[in-house]
């Protein structure tokens, strides 16, 4: 969930990190009010403050957030049970893309869904998923959706009591983790995730928007199976969000793994003597300095009997037989390292 709806900059890329445009850690008690303001008319300054107010009111319905990709938070008595946004995979996407649920099972559950029923209840009743499996996946999608929405500034929001739980999948969440999460818990977790990434990348917002390109390096054994799967899916055009949708994973876990891989490789380049080094290619070899003129025609020296190389000094500078020659700094010998 993102921060102040009226003060967020238009271009978050101009900020060093996303916290300057999306202050999810802002106190949830902050509301616009004056000394004579009626408490019932106070307007929350940001989404965390709004959710805290709705928790006090035990609001049931939906909060539609505008700005960036936007999204909706579904509440029951003030507790957040689901977050749906184009910025992150939904619980349904996580189940299907990861292989936990078959597409035919999903379609069968929709066909058997009663009016104003919940798809999750049908899936568990049919044995497609256990209640624990469904709750874990829905909770993961909830926190990941809140994190993904926090990467963009908010321009506004509206509440809709006509949408929410017990309204069916068309008016309510497709899947949800009821009874829901406390708004303060959701805000704290989102802020923690942003701080964690901020310690590894210069700008979380830039990192989230950037395309991921795998380097041709031979350190696949250092990044593990999960990291290798990520890099195999990276084609230079996919962003972390695209990779999350393609692999059936959350946006935050994908960004965290990519940041760890980048940090590990940077450390290997700086400190590891065994890290791969660039190889001299044919194109690079063509750019080497040409040999001095006449070097190609100069014959190689021939070894003389006794293992000595012939002296390259002119005859007038040669020492008489049997007298050793001692080199000096002003007259270095070219074969003074030979016995």
74-122 pLDDT per residue, tens: 999 999 999 999 999 999 999 999 899 999 999 999 999 888 788 999 9
Residue 222 has pLDDT above 50, yes or no: yes
For residues 163 and 291, the model is more confident at 163
Q: Which residues contact 120 (CB under 8 A, 6 or more apart)?
A: 129, 134, 138, 175, 176
Higher pLDDT, 227 or 73: 73
What pLDDT score does 43 carry?
A: 73
Residue 111 is predicted with a pLDDT of 93
**Looking at residue 264, what is its pLDDT?**
79
Q: Which of 299, 338, 335, 300 is nearest to 318 (CA)?
A: 335
| pLDDT, the chain, mean | 76
pLDDT band, very low/low/confident/very high, at 328 (cuts 50, 70, 90): very low
The answer to whether residues 249 and 98 touch, using CB atoms and an 8 Å cutoff, is yes
Helices (H), the chain: 47-57, 91-97, 103-111, 119-125, 131-149, 168-171, 183-198, 204-209, 220-233, 240-247, 251-271, 282-286
Q: What is the pTM of this model?
A: 0.68
63 has pLDDT over 80: yes
pLDDT of residue 171: 76
Length of the chain: 339
Q: How many CA atoms lie within 13 A of 45 on its CB side?
A: 16
Q: Is the pLDDT of residue 272 over 80?
A: no
Q: Is the pLDDT of residue 129 over 90?
A: yes
Domain boundaries defined on the chain: 12-198, 210-267
Average pLDDT over residues 316-336: 43
Residues 63 and 72 sit within 8 Å (Cβ to Cβ): yes
The stretch 291-297 carries a mean pLDDT of 56
242-264 pLDDT, tens digit per residue, is 999 999 999 999 999 999 988 87
> Which segment of 2-11, 135-144, 162-171, 223-232 scores lowest on mean pLDDT?
2-11
pLDDT in tens, 165-219: 766 666 789 999 999 999 999 999 999 999 999 999 999 999 999 999 877 554 6
Q: Which letter, b or e, does each residue of 65-92 get, where b requires 16 or more Cβ atoms within 10 Å of its Cβ?
A: bebbebbbbbbbebbbbbbbbebbbbbb
pLDDT value of residue 308: 54
Per-residue pLDDT reduced to its tens digit, 65-77: 998 889 999 999 9
Split at pLDDT 50, 70, 90, the class of 291 is: low
Q: pLDDT value at position 11?
A: 39
Distance from CA of residue 333 to its chain's centroid?
61
Read off the pLDDT of each residue in 222-243 and give the average, rounded to a whole number: 89
The pLDDT-based confidence of 338 (bands split at 50, 70, 90) is: very low
């Amino acid at each position: 969930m993102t921060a102040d709806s009226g003060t967020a900059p238009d271009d978050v890329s101009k900020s060093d990190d996303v916290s300057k445009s999306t202050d999810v850690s802002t106190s949830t008690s902050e509301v616009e009010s004056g000394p004579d303001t009626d408490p019932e008319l106070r307007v929350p300054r940001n989404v965390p403050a709004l959710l805290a107010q709705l928790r006090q009111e035990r609001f049931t319905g939906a909060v539609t957030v505008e700005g960036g990709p936007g999204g909706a938070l579904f509440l029951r008595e003030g507790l957040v049970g689901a977050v749906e946004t184009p910025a992150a995979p939904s619980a349904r996407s996580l189940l299907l893309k990861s292989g936990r649920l078959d597409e035919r099972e999903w379609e069968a559950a929709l066909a058997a869904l009663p009016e104003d029923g919940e798809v999750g209840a049908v899936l568990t009743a049919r044995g497609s998923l256990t209640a624990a499996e469904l709750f874990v996946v829905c909770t993961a999608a909830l926190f990941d959706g809140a994190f993904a929405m926090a990467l963009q500034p908010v321009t506004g929001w509206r509440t809709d009591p006509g949408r929410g739980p017990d309204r069916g999948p068309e008016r309510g969440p497709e899947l949800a983790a009821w009874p829901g999460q406390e708004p303060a818990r959701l805000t704290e977790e989102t802020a923690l995730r942003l701080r964690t990434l901020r310690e590894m990348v210069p700008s979380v917002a830039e990192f989230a928007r950037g395309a991921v390109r795998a380097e041709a390096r031979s350190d696949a054994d250092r990044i593990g199976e999960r990291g290798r799967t990520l890099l195999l899916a990276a084609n230079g055009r996919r962003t972390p969000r695209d990779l999350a949708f393609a692999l059936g994973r959350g946006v935050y876990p994908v960004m965290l793994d990519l940041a760890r891989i980048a940090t590990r490789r940077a450390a290997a380049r700086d400190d590891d003597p065994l890290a791969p080094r660039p190889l001299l290619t044919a194109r690079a070899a063509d750019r080497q300095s040409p040999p001095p003129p006449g070097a190609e025609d100069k014959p190689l020296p021939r070894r003389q009997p006794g293992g000595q190389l012939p002296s390259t000094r002119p005859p007038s500078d040669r020492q008489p037989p049997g007298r050793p020659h001692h080199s000096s700094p002003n007259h270095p010998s070219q074969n003074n390292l030979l016995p």
